[in-house]
Amino acid sequence: MRGFRALLLGLYGLALAGCASTASPEALAAKDPYEPANRNIMVLNQEVDRLVFIHTLERYRALPEFMRTDVHNLLRNLALPTIFVNDLLQSKPGRAGRTVARFVINSSIGVGGLFDPATPIGMPYHGEDFGQTLSVWGAGEGPFVMLPLLGPSNPRDTAGLMVDTFGIDTTNHIHFKQHFWWAAGRQYLNVLDLRSQTFDTLQGIERSSVDYYAALRNLYRQARDNEIRDGVANPAAELPDF
């Protein structure tokens, strides 16, 4: 296991050597000055995925849908305290109130969050994170980066993820025996759940794209902008005239 970790670190280190390569004019125009390294990291991520993660994912996707839905609901419920804090930081008291209501209803009637009775009664889930909070506060996204294992991101969202995970997430401040394994297990389940939800979509994009890396980069940026706007269309947004 130690040898595998060392090999993985070495391979990602080599991938980062792509930073020394010059980005193309197209990459610079796409605010992706580290494109050569990013592309290398994506290829490595796909290999690690194929060798290590995909077998677990296949077994997880073979589980009955209701079990995967329960896990999905539980994980979303655990994320609500973090979402609540970010709702407040973004001065969205209405959304913060709905987050609290969802947490109370789903934790009680929803049996600890396994079920989601809040959505059918007009309180659907919404996501917020510190990366979005930074954007609302005026922080630009910066250059595109492909993170080892975690995938597409940018400096703002990466910093936001660190703050959420090590600062805002209240469950990480409750120390108990085996807390590390609880936290690691939860993050692993989060990744498994997200991959399960997006597996077919990403496969379809990979299958139909002429440049999967560029497709992911654009998809991440547009989807992220949509999240930051809370899904509300921005009619004044610059759409190219064609």
Question: Could you tell me the smallest distance in angstroms from the CB atom of residue 16 to another protein?
Answer: 20
Is residue 223 a contact point for another protein (CB under 8 A)? Answer: yes
Cα gap 4→12, rounded to integer Å:
12
Is residue 225 a contact point for another protein (CB under 8 A)? Answer: yes
Nearer to another protein, 10 or 97 (CB): 97
Q: How large is the greatest C-alpha to C-alpha distance in the chain, in angstroms?
A: 60
Is residue 21 a contact point for another protein (CB under 8 A)? Answer: no
Residues 22-51 that bind another protein (CB under 8 A): 24-27, 30
Nearer to another protein, 20 or 236 (CB): 236
Cα gap 239→15, rounded to integer Å:
34
Is residue 206 a contact point for another protein (CB under 8 A)? Answer: no
Q: What's the CA angle centered on 142, arms 139 and 147, to 5 degrees?
A: 120
Stretch (H or E) spanning 147 = strand 145-147
Q: Where are the alpha helices (DSSP H) in 17-92?
A: 25-29, 35-48, 54-61, 65-89
Residues 71-130 that bind another protein (CB under 8 A): 119-120, 124
How many residues in the shown chain lie near another protein by CB under 8 A? 34
Is residue 215 a contact point for another protein (CB under 8 A)? Answer: yes
Two tokens at 18? 């792509």
With CA atoms as reference, report the closest residue to 168 among 106, 84, 76: 84
Residues 120-159 that bind another protein (CB under 8 A): 120, 124
Site residues (CB under 8 A) for another protein? 24-27, 30, 119-120, 124, 204, 207-211, 213-215, 217-219, 222-223, 225-227, 229, 231-233, 235, 239-242
